[in-house]
Structure 1
Amino acid sequence: MRALAFALSLMLPGAGHACKAALVLAMDVSGSVDAGEWRLQADGLAAALADRQIREVLVQEQVALAVVQWSALGQQALVIPWQRMLDQRAVDRMAERVRTMPRAFPGSDTAVGEALEFSLAQFSAVSDCRRKIIDMSGDGDENVGFTTPRARRAAIEAGVEVNGLAIESMGLSITNYYRRWVITPRGFVETAQGHLDYARAIRAKMLRELTAPTS
């Protein structure tokens, strides 16, 4: 009986591993993001996943990752479903999937609230993970739907952390928008000075949120 139970346990996703964090990477593909800027985002995220420090923490914490792309009302897609980072090979596969993933939408309005609500709904599939985090990255504030306050309240009530990656073209207008309307009380905003700075910013952001104290 013990041998049978052990064999069955190996067939279960994440068997024998404690998932300490589930992270949704929600990427802006609205009309303000052109083809070159989209490429910088995808390549920047793939490079972050290939970073030695990030790879180590992903496996050590047994992180579950998913990627969402979002734009206007009704334009949200789970482009990479939950993947458990159980070993270095899993991280390699995830980085390659990110690098080669197609753009889900050609670009339209910026429905931040709907993107946040859509991302929040994905956590039902990873209920065993201790922490639940949403990375909202974008280069514009909400211009349609205007449901961000409601979505943020829902995240707080569900115990989900929301952090922001604001891609600025000038000043700190997007950073301030994310600070005021998007992130949860213990969240933070990482600022990228344009899309060329995205790779640095997403690496810094992931290290900060995945190594944060849990108490």
Structure 2
Amino acid sequence: MLLAALAMLLSLTAIGEARNAAAESGAVVDLELVLAVDISGSMDLEEAQIQREGYVSALTHPEFLAAIREGFNGRIAISYFEWGGTIGQNSLMPWSLIATADDAARFAQLIKKRPFASLRGTSLSTAIAYGSKLFDSNGFSGVRRVIDISGDGPNNYGAPVVPARDAANALGIIVNGLAIMVRPSSAYGPLDRYYADCVIGGPGAFVVSVQEPEDFAMAIRRKLVLEVSGRQPPAHFVPVANGTDCMIGEKLRPGFERYPELNR
């Protein structure tokens, strides 16, 4: 336990030093990327662990590192937080500069070592609004700014999601989505279509869906590579959506009519 705590402290110190150096220099990066990761109550422990392992694997994969090196500046800035109906307490990881395999490995290890605690509710709107604020004064100047948000259900808590998405887009922030469909529900229809209509937005925004636990790592890697490279995704990444009810999650919530602020 002592060795693990010391290793974590050294890693945090290294990341803090990198962040401070970037802040002093106003480092120009190819991408400022926020990973907003769902830990709502509908994500059981197994699903949450597979999701986390998928991010760890993707961040250290040679394909992801190659995409970073191929960028004009050869580096990106990345942050990470976990959310449910609210933002996970102490879940925010500081912005880190990723230019080398060692940088990526340190960041991935911090994610891997995080304790897990689920949160009630699914507030995509809160996650997007919170993520949008993280770009302010982060010490980096990115060519592109992206919030990469995962989730296994529609927005059902807090403010509606569409205004939050639109507000982020108005700030020049692209919102991409990872729709987790391992345990789909017929109550609200295909989640990837909901994400396509109600969650993602901005130039080139796209959705990647995960339908089998073993596909997590590959799906996350493909999405991160596309985000880092700035390439347009294949057409099948964004499903054809038609008339999705962006308030379906709220309407399915017990007592919805007692929450007039959600019924607007």
TM-score normalised over the length of structure 1: 0.86
1:87 positional shift: 2.3
The answer as to whether partners of 2:32 and 2:146 remain within 8 angstroms in 1 is: yes
Pick the aligned partner of 1:13 from 14, 22, 28: 22
Is this contact kept in 1: 2:22–2:139, CA < 8 A? no
Q: CA deviation at 1:57?
A: 2.3
Alpha-carbon displacement from aligned partner over 1:105-151 (angstroms, at most 9, x marks no partner): 42311011001100111011145112100101011111111331111
Q: 1:119 corresponds to which residue?
A: 131
Aligned pair partner of 2:225 in 201, 207, 210? 207
Q: Percent identity?
A: 30
Where 1:163 maps in the other structure, the secondary structure is strand
Checking the alignment, whether the CA contact within 8 Å between 2:28 and 2:140 is kept in structure 1 is: no
Q: Does 1:163 align with 2:179?
A: no
Q: CA deviation at 1:199?
A: 1.0
CA distance in 2, matches of 1:76, 1:155: 23
Amino acid aligned to 1:96:
Q
Q: Counterparts of 1:66-85 in structure 2 under 5 Å?
A: 66-73=79-86, 75=88, 78-85=91-98
Asked if the contact 2:30/2:76 (under 8 Å) is kept, the reply is yes
The separation in 2 between residues aligned to 1:17 and 1:119, in whole angstroms, is 20
Instruction: Report the counterpart of residue 149 of structure 2 in structure 1.
Output: 136
Give the 3-state SS of the residue equivalent to 2:92 in structure 1: strand
Contact residue 59 and residue 88 of structure 1 kept, 8 A? no
How does 1:16-165 map onto structure 2 within 5 Å? 18-60=28-70, 61-73=74-86, 75=88, 78-103=91-116, 105-124=117-136, 125-165=138-178
Unaligned runs of 5+ in 1: 1-10
Does residue 184 (structure 1) correspond to residue 201 (structure 2)? The answer is yes
Q: How many residues align?
A: 203
C-alpha RMSD of matched pairs (Å): 2.2
CA distance in 2, matches of 1:177, 1:213: 23
- Does the Cα contact within 8 Å between 2:122 and 2:153 map onto a contact in 1? yes
AA aligned to 1:175 is D
1:8 aligned partner: none
Supply the distance in 1 between the matched residues of 2:88 and 2:26 (Cα, whole angstroms): 37
Larger mean Cα displacement after TM superposition, 135-144 or 162-171: 162-171
TM-score normalised to structure 2 length: 0.71
Structure 2 CA distance, aligned partners of 1:96 and 1:139? Answer: 24
Distance in 1, matches of 2:87 and 2:108, equals 27
CA contact (8 A) 1:76 1:115 kept: no
| 2:127 counterpart letter in structure 1 | A
| CA distance in 1 between partners of 2:52 and 2:87 (Å) | 22
- Contact 2:26–2:140 (Cα < 8 Å) also in 1: no
Structure 1 residue 102, shift from structure 2 partner: 1.9
Larger radius of gyration: 2
Q: Which amino acid aligns with 1:107?
A: L
